[in-house]
Structure 1
Amino acid sequence: MYKPSYQPGNYPHGQEYVKQWAALGSWFLGPKAENIDVFNNLAIEAFKGHANFRKNYFPTDSAYITPDITATDAYESEKKQLEQELATMIEQLKNSTPIFSVRFEGHMNWDTTMPGNLGYLAALLYNANNVANEASPVTTPYEIEVGNQLCEMLGYKFTESKPDPWGHITSCGSIANIEAMWACRNIKYYPFCVQKALNESKELAGAKNFEIYVPRLQSKQKLVDLCNWDLLNLDIDDIVAIPDEVINMCNGITPDDYSKIVDKNNLASLGWWKFIDLYGLENGPVVLSPMTNHYSWPKAAIMLGIGQENIIGIEFDENARMDIKDLKTKLDNCLKTKTPIISVVAVIGTTEESAVDPLADIVECRNEYKKQGLNFAINADAAWGGYFMTMLHEPTTNRRKSVAKIPVFPLSDYTTRHLLSMRDADTITVDPHKSGFCPYPAGSLCYRNGSMRGFIQVEASVVYHQGVDPSVGVWGIEGSKPGAAPAGVLLSHRDPEAMELLKAIGPDTLINAFAVNLKGNTDLKVCNDINFEVFRRLSHTNPHENIMRVPLILTSSKLKPLIYGKAVKQFKKRLGLPANTDGELGFLINTVMNPWVAELQKIKQVGSIFRQTVLDAIGMITDEPDIHRFVSPDMITDTGDLFGDHLPMFTMPAHQYHAIAKFNVPDQNAVTLIQGKYKEQSQLSSGKRLPIIFGNSKKSGLQNFLEDAMNEAIDMNFFVGMPSATNKPFLTTKVKVLDIPHRNHFDMTLTDYPAKLTYFMYGENGNAYLSHNMSMRPDVHQVVKLDKKPADVPDILLELGIDVTINNLEGKPLYIDGKIVDPLQLKEYTISYLSTDGIIAQSTIYMTNDDAKVWFDAVDE
């Protein structure tokens, strides 16, 4: 458990706090399900609407699930089984990754908007399949409308002088990227089959003199006269216009006639082997992409027969962005060797570093190189960064004043310039299920020139005529796909302030890549070990792991020198490592999609969690093995459960911990023996009574042996009172760790005590214990058994453990006659603590029993 840097009583509240977050409050279900009533009511309305649709569709049709059926034992049995299975699933799902929480800063997803979820649920029961219009007459137009909205958001223009842009929903960004390369590949090689058809087909004789602009010559030339190299370097807009222009030059030729003549010799029909042989091509194509490219790009190259090795990686600069100098070097080589380039990929917000490639500079490169005869498409992979364009829109007139209270993360001038250049990219991948805060599956692909999609159409003509699309399933990779996905995106987009709100809360591509190192350490392995240990503690991958013990969720990756080059050298230097050190550098990643994380107290809390985790991680790596002792605050249970409070020391690094664990002794004979020793001591007067002390029998780091014992029981020694040369263990037995409610490494940089006295309170089954939060040397290690669980303290908080403050006692040690003494001189105190929903609560604790004061030690006095 983490120890907050703030104390109860300082949590933000009041009118100013309410004003700051009011606009967000109506848009999300909320980290604590604050809007559950609103959501339930609206969801029920959506389900009622569907039920009414079923009831009123031919209302005279008879019912099939009749009262006679529902009254049978078989029906009731199946219904109960469904209820039980659903209850089991609901309980299992509670250990899912809590993406809705401000504590989740892992991957590129966060909470989804209520409009997005409600739109998805509203369409879910209709089970619309957007593969064909007849299966989705409502949701297909939804998808087309969403595609138009995305195109407009990204900067594509709808005009009367050229084909409109076009976009559609895909299941993910990977599918969109693969489709983008597929379309660009087919378009790149399309002029060859047209040239062949014009030379050989009598039906196309009227277009024999068809001319097309040749960038290398900066003039129009007859298509039939062009060499292979010029055919491979025409402009996309000119290529996709060929079908309409050729058909217009030929009397009586229909689009279907044209397709039958031309398409039989295109790449899609012949495949690579026959196509290359037919047209006498010498060099295979390549795709230029930054080394940070998503794995979907090499996957696309494999699937399309281009080959993974023909994804040519472009080196990074020190900021992990595409290095334009290296791009030009690769372009020069392709020009020299006459290697055709299908496309150059620009990543707008990389997965790990959130780097934005210099797209505007790539566009300038294309303009420069196509005059030399080298032309290519540009694919913008803006799966993460596309929605950041909402931050560049001008405010609408209906924007409420309260929106201004929402925290804004400004975009840099660099990022702004290259985001705006997306309008010049030929395709853009953007994921509404990432920065659009919509439910999965909702990736998308947008074409600058909507006619491009016709070149991956399998069943019909490549010719695209402006008008209403009969379906969206004939374009793209997917067949069946849910109509619910575009319905969710559309309702989220249609919210009156949706786009403006996204502008207000959108992060500045804030995926932060960072690492930590121990001051003075120059060993790469030690640095990597510390970062891995931090990640291990701040991640959730095991469904059987207690998610309540993971206070913050991050993710991680590695910088590979062969890929990251200058970037990894610079990173190592900043960490205090030799820049030329061989080996990969592990690093941590946090993704900031959560608007509430900007709240000041939350920033402090996250910082406190992370600092404590780093201290623990360093300790895990550097602690010397030793014997560790625990004091038991209470009798061991009949099932062998007992808590243990670690005996700390400030002067020895391996013991600089405030740690509490729940143990279990599986051997029943050992349990009986421990109970007997406890009872013997309880019968003595309080002044002579000794606690049960136990600990590991073999030397180990504290954290190592606690975590090892969670997986397998280990040998531990039990004593009555403190071990010594004369006080030998009365028992050695196997012990397992069930839970670790508290584990804090002392922060040895502290120079002052807290203002008020604080304890960690924990317990279960009506029993409650206090353990003093130690701050700095000297201090008090004190363990107290309360008479009973404090009233009004929720059981869940006691099981998790919470910090409590005794407001009328100072946080520094209490001295009497020059010695540190027990600060709890009274039998009862009022405590303050942070209760459920962040509310400051108070209760009373009682210590009237003579066995309340289990342990007191002035540590390093």
Structure 2
Amino acid sequence: MSESEGLDFYHSSSVGRHNRLSAWFFGPNGENSSLLGDVLLDIMKRTVTARKNIYDKDPDFITAEIQESKEYQREKMVLSERLQALSENLQRGTVPFWSPRYNAHMASDTSMPALLSYISTALFNPNNISPEAAPLTSELEVKAGIDICHMLGFSVSDEPSKPWGHITCGGSVANMEAVWAARNLKFYPLSLFKAMGDAQPLEFIRNSFEVTLCNDKTRKLFKDCSTWELLNLKPETILEIPYRLEEEYDIAAEALTGFMHPFLVQTVGRHALESEFEITKNPVQLITTATKHYSFPKGCALAGIGSANLVSIPVDVSARMDILELDRHLNNCLEGRQAVYAVVAIMGSTDHGAVDPLAEICNLRRSYQLRGMSFVIHADGAWGGYFASLLRSPNSRRSTILSSPPTGQLVPERHLSDYVTRQFKALDQVDSVTVDPHKSGYVPFPAGGLCYRDGRMRYQLTWFNPSGHGSGDPDMNLSVFGIEGSKPGAAAAAVWLSNLMLGLDRDGYGMLLAQAKFGSLKMYSHLATMDMGSNSLIVVPLVMLPAERENASAQDVIAQKEKLIARIRDNRNENITEDDLRFASNFGSDLSINSFACNFRIDEQVNADIAEANDLNQRIYERLSMTRPGDKVPPVIIMLTEVNQNAYGKCAEELKRRLGLIGKEDLKILVNCVMSPFPTTSNFTKTIATEFRKVAEDVIQNYSLFRNRVTSARFYFIMQGTDPVHLVLLPSFHVENHRRQLILTCKLSRGVPSTYLAAQIQEPKSPLILYNKHDLTLEDLLKGEFEADIIRGFPRNSGDEAPVPVIVKNLHVTILKVIKNHRLNSRFLDISPPRLSIFYLYGTPKQLHIEHALLVDKNVQLTSNRVTLSFDGREAITSDELSKGLVAVFSDMHERTFLPVVPPRTPSSFKCGKSHRVLIYQDPTSANTAGPGLFDRLLSAELIGTGSLTLGDMTIADSTTINVDPWRLSDDGQTGGHKERPYRLKNNEYGATHEMYRRLDRRTLWDSLTEGMEDDYYASYTKVNN
């Protein structure tokens, strides 16, 4: 068979493209195991041949006699056993990222060309630190970098400014290198200015060396440029300087390196240059977006820029950088003479797949350069970089064989939207791009990459002239051009061969990613319509439907969803037409990540509480993730992230609005990342969506509804005082019935007060707890009268052997006054705690009590009975003042030092007999005033006086009851079920036992590999020797 006939076998028929792609992977069920096994066997044979043939005259060092020895056989057996144990544990403890059911992180089955070339090369263990350690794979790394540059749209030529790229261990390091390079480039002109100073090595050129400013109009002597002008030269202008100095003044590169070294920012540090050039008041900034990867604050810290000088531009409702906000900030920088290292555009954010408006950013740079300000543009394409292959035409040989697919293909291919296409076409204007082959390149970890449009930018990172480092081509000394020294040549080989085999164009990686994008669209169509017909589940994708973006009516939105169901969601692949794909071209995310959030309805009412929506999404994630070795493999695997209100602004607000949520809290959302090209075959996406919906509905029915439904229940109150008696509810943030800060004044039935008083006198420090004898709703209880019992001490777990002693039975309680009745749902709470601790002060002049104001969640209940208040320079508190309501601000208790609390921790200063300095204010709120912001205007309220408050005998500090979640996993890993369990768990009992369970789980798996190794060793020795 000729080569062209062989390639014709992969002709792009309706099924042929997917058939060709299927040969690239091991397969979700190991379908290509025979192919993989054959190649692995061939690799092993070739490696053995290589070792034998290189020094074919050398003797065998591991002889047959050694191999037959008992010691050798023992080690062989132990190795086999340990590898078997490792393999078994990997099967149980590894996330199945190769499965179409894995929809979490940017990980998928790796391409077989990448996997096999990695394994093949790893057997030779080359180190790409220099050509001396890896002559071949160093060259492959450079070739792979150039290939990726071409894919990104950089013009590959033989000019000095030709692009260049290299492989890193990941996108994080690539981004850090880009930050480092941008910093060094920004300060290079200042360093050169110093090198031209009096008696300095380049003094002789200062009266003749000219430079063109960034407006492309003004040319002036370099020495006459202002600091602002030097900080804003174009990147290409700076990169051209060493070449101009060699051409115009015959200054060799080696000499220039020596001349510049004492003045470079790498040598003297940023602060020295900023101080000398008087830019410390307006330090240079790095600008990115709210969706930035964590590698940018890391990079700023490592480069000495400081994360305080990292500016995050707000995003729009689609989680893309808001270009108007960027323009506004750049204009402020221009007017304030604050230079900018770089503007970073995210080409596919980690959590949302959102593509920033790169084309508009490039246009902004051009406009600001005309106004005298310039900066580097870096594109973080760690996730999105390989999607540029969708824009690249195939080479001539493949294009004649793999023509554009007709409709009716097995897996439709979804191409980039017009918006995303425009942004990716602008990549050829940026200065550097991060690309991660181990993400959308389907290459094994570790394999990131950084590409420069002008390859000379890499010299900004060198510490010495690469031509003097080792021998051969200086560009092969890869370690001098980045952060890393030693790194695996296997990663470079994997990237190179996978790029070569699949192809960095729309018939290679482009085809693969287009099919993944279609899978993402298919999943989006399920998510966007999942709650239709559901009585309880609400699912809202972050990216709105086109009708929603156009503010269409609810009926129009429903009509669009119905079209999406008919044309995409429920339509078989072979029936989807080009017209259907055009209809759906503006649906879903920019790439292939679907971010979404769930909410629920209870009794036909949409939950408005963000904390409860967060709890729902958290529980769904916990059911659909693997975070510990030994976790049961879930039916679908997804990811959880958070939309921070401050960072995401209107994007967060709009998503909350669509979910029906109220409040300023951060929102937990779920992430579905589709990389596999296989789930849309046999409509398997429907299976994935159905499994997700089952879990979401189950969590709502078994947790959300029970946490949030108002039911008849038992309520426990701390009793304070005797004349009258005050009741303080034991609250809970996790149970709707008990989400209340409630303080009551009441009267007990005849004869009871004396019994109650005797019990108090007997054990004054032990709390007496009153509870309603018959289950009631809280609203029914507050109607005025109820029957109750009194116990000593807090209610215990249902499993405790000894019951709590009942002090008084069958008493009648009459409510005289509601002092405080504040709801503790998250929408009624503040986001941040107050600076100082605030307490409600109530009772009578002879019996004063306090209760900590619960203004935020993750709080602590602080209660004290019969406190003593001593004023500075005034008489005691009056009954009239108490009747109007008072609050005590503890000026020596700083709330933000112990909140948010981690149970069972409580503030150590809140103890019986402890005195605190206080400010007493008239309470500006009524009994039923709803938060948030209850005490925002406290300082404008009437100050009654200052003084000292001493805590009473019965003082309670408890963070467990209020914060414990009764529906969390029990010790055996099972759920708590439908029924509300006793919500008090003393000493954080659940947390301790569950953590012990987690540790035991890890220890058991590790022990299967290591425990008793010495015994196994000698057992094996005995077995062999006998």
Same fold (TM > 0.5): yes
Amino acid at match of 1:28: F
Q: How does 1:617-766 map to 2 (within 5 A)?
A: 617-622=699-704, 624=706, 708=970, 710-711=972-973
Q: CA deviation at 1:260?
A: 1.1
Q: CA deviation at 1:709?
A: 6.3
2:305 aligned residue: 306
Sort the Cα spacing of 1:451 and 1:313 in 2 relative to 1 into closer, same or farther, 3 A: same
Q: Secondary structure at the match of 2:438?
A: coil
Whole-Å Cα distance in 2 between the matches of residues 177 and 109 of structure 1? 19
2:131 aligned residue: 133
1:412 equivalent in alignment to 2:417 = yes
1:476 aligned residue: 482
Amino acid at match of 1:368: S
Amino acid at match of 1:618: I
More moved, 615-624 vs 428-437:
615-624
Q: Secondary structure at the match of 1:596?
A: coil
Counterpart pick for 1:591 among 658, 667, 673: 673
Q: Answer whether contact 1:173 1:430 (CA < 8 A) is retained.
A: yes
Whole-Å Cα distance in 2 between the matches of residues 401 and 240 of structure 1? 41
Sort the Cα spacing of 1:527 and 1:713 in 2 relative to 1 into closer, same or farther, 3 A: closer
Counterpart pick for 1:577 among 654, 661, 670: 661
Q: CA deviation at 1:277?
A: 3.5
Amino acid at match of 1:264: P
1:31 equivalent in alignment to 2:37 = no
1:442 equivalent in alignment to 2:447 = yes
Amino acid at match of 1:586: K
1:182 aligned residue: 180
1:502 aligned residue: 509
Q: Answer whether contact 2:137 2:490 (CA < 8 A) is retained.
A: yes
1:69 aligned residue: 66
Whole-Å Cα distance in 2 between the matches of residues 363 and 17 of structure 1? 39
Q: CA deviation at 1:74?
A: 0.8
Q: Secondary structure at the match of 1:168?
A: strand
Whole-Å Cα distance in 1 between the matches of residues 308 and 208 of structure 2? 39
Whole-Å Cα distance in 1 between the matches of residues 271 and 288 of structure 2? 25
Q: Answer whether contact 1:19 1:402 (CA < 8 A) is retained.
A: no
Whole-Å Cα distance in 1 between the matches of residues 659 and 353 of structure 2? 20
Counterpart pick for 1:274 among 258, 272, 275: 272
Q: Answer whether contact 1:216 1:230 (CA < 8 A) is retained.
A: no
What's the CA shift string for 1:209-246, capped at 9, x where partnerless?
11111024722211111111100000111101111211
Q: Secondary structure at the match of 2:637?
A: coil
Q: How does 1:48-63 map to 2 (within 5 A)?
A: 48-63=45-60
Whole-Å Cα distance in 2 between the matches of residues 399 and 462 of structure 1? 44
1:335 equivalent in alignment to 2:356 = no
Q: Secondary structure at the match of 1:381?
A: strand
Q: How does 1:193-212 map to 2 (within 5 A)?
A: 193-200=191-198, 201=200, 205-206=204-205, 208-212=207-211
Q: CA deviation at 1:278?
A: 3.7
Q: CA deviation at 1:160?
A: 4.5
Whole-Å Cα distance in 2 between the matches of residues 402 and 340 of structure 1? 47
Q: CA deviation at 1:17?
A: 10
State the superposition RMSD in angstroms: 2.7
Whole-Å Cα distance in 2 between the matches of residues 280 and 623 of structure 1? 61
More moved, 35-44 vs 214-223:
214-223
1:107 aligned residue: 105
What is the TM-score of this pair, normalised by structure 2? 0.58
Sort the Cα spacing of 1:312 and 1:706 in 2 relative to 1 into closer, same or farther, 3 A: closer
2:820 aligned residue: none
Whole-Å Cα distance in 1 between the matches of residues 595 and 968 of structure 2? 30
Sort the Cα spacing of 1:17 and 1:504 in 2 relative to 1 into closer, same or farther, 3 A: closer
Sort the Cα spacing of 1:208 and 1:516 in 2 relative to 1 into closer, same or farther, 3 A: same
What's the CA shift string for 1:731-773, capped at 9, x where partnerless?
xxxxx9xxxxxxxxxxxxxxxxxxxxxxxxxxxxxxxxxxxxx
What's the CA shift string for 1:662-705, capped at 9, x where partnerless?
xxxxxxxxxxxxxxxxxxxxxxxxxxxxxxxxxxxxxxxxx998
Q: CA deviation at 1:524?
A: 1.8
* Structure ranking higher on relative contact order (CA contacts 8 Å, 6+ apart): 1
Amino acid at match of 1:418: Q
More moved, 180-189 vs 396-405:
396-405
What's the CA shift string for 1:331-354, capped at 9, x where partnerless?
111112211100001000001111
Q: Answer whether contact 2:286 2:340 (CA < 8 A) is retained.
A: yes
Whole-Å Cα distance in 2 between the matches of residues 238 and 714 of structure 1? 67
Q: Secondary structure at the match of 2:600?
A: coil
Whole-Å Cα distance in 1 between the matches of residues 468 and 149 of structure 2? 21
What's the CA shift string for 1:267-291, capped at 9, x where partnerless?
1111123333344434321101101
Sort the Cα spacing of 1:473 and 1:440 in 2 relative to 1 into closer, same or farther, 3 A: same
Sort the Cα spacing of 1:208 and 1:262 in 2 relative to 1 into closer, same or farther, 3 A: farther
Aligned-residue identity in percent: 34
What is the TM-score of this pair, normalised by structure 1? 0.69
Sort the Cα spacing of 1:425 and 1:71 in 2 relative to 1 into closer, same or farther, 3 A: same
1:90 aligned residue: 87
Q: CA deviation at 1:18?
A: 6.8
Amino acid at match of 2:372: G
Whole-Å Cα distance in 1 between the matches of residues 319 and 87 of structure 2? 42
Q: How does 1:529-608 map to 2 (within 5 A)?
A: 529-547=615-633, 550-578=634-662, 581-608=663-690
Amino acid at match of 2:62: I
Whole-Å Cα distance in 1 between the matches of residues 208 and 968 of structure 2? 82
Amino acid at match of 1:29: F
Q: How does 1:238-253 map to 2 (within 5 A)?
A: 238-251=237-250, 253=251
Q: Secondary structure at the match of 1:240?
A: helix
Q: Answer whether contact 2:966 2:976 (CA < 8 A) is retained.
A: no
Q: Secondary structure at the match of 1:480?
A: coil
1:528 aligned residue: 614
Amino acid at match of 1:126: F
Q: CA deviation at 1:498?
A: 6.3
Whole-Å Cα distance in 1 between the matches of residues 352 and 976 of structure 2? 42
Whole-Å Cα distance in 2 between the matches of residues 463 and 249 of structure 1? 24
1:397 aligned residue: 399
Counterpart pick for 2:498 among 492, 514, 518: 492
Q: CA deviation at 1:22?
A: 1.5
Counterpart pick for 2:428 among 400, 420, 423: 423
Sort the Cα spacing of 1:470 and 1:25 in 2 relative to 1 into closer, same or farther, 3 A: closer
Whole-Å Cα distance in 2 between the matches of residues 401 and 57 of structure 1? 45
Q: Answer whether contact 1:298 1:308 (CA < 8 A) is retained.
A: yes
Q: Answer whether contact 2:466 2:474 (CA < 8 A) is retained.
A: no
Q: Answer whether contact 1:203 1:250 (CA < 8 A) is retained.
A: no
Q: Secondary structure at the match of 1:595?
A: coil
Q: Answer whether contact 2:347 2:383 (CA < 8 A) is retained.
A: yes
Q: CA deviation at 1:111?
A: 0.7
Whole-Å Cα distance in 2 between the matches of residues 162 and 454 of structure 1? 12
Gaps of 5+ in 2: 1-12, 518-589, 710-964, 978-993, 995-1026
Counterpart pick for 1:453 among 458, 464, 470: 458
Q: CA deviation at 1:432?
A: 0.6
More moved, 45-54 vs 412-421:
45-54
Q: CA deviation at 1:161?
A: 4.8
Sort the Cα spacing of 1:19 and 1:216 in 2 relative to 1 into closer, same or farther, 3 A: closer
Q: Secondary structure at the match of 1:151?
A: helix
What's the CA shift string for 1:546-576, capped at 9, x where partnerless?
22xx000000111111111000111011112
Whole-Å Cα distance in 1 between the matches of residues 433 and 504 of structure 2? 21
1:120 aligned residue: 118
Q: How does 1:138-149 map to 2 (within 5 A)?
A: 138-149=136-147
Amino acid at match of 1:504: M
Q: Secondary structure at the match of 1:619?
A: helix
Q: CA deviation at 1:248?
A: 2.3
Q: How does 1:282-297 map to 2 (within 5 A)?
A: 282=280, 283-297=282-296
Whole-Å Cα distance in 2 between the matches of residues 462 and 454 of structure 1? 12
Q: CA deviation at 1:441?
A: 0.7
Amino acid at match of 1:527: A
2:540 aligned residue: none
2:550 aligned residue: none
Q: Answer whether contact 2:316 2:651 (CA < 8 A) is retained.
A: yes
Whole-Å Cα distance in 1 between the matches of residues 968 and 388 of structure 2? 49
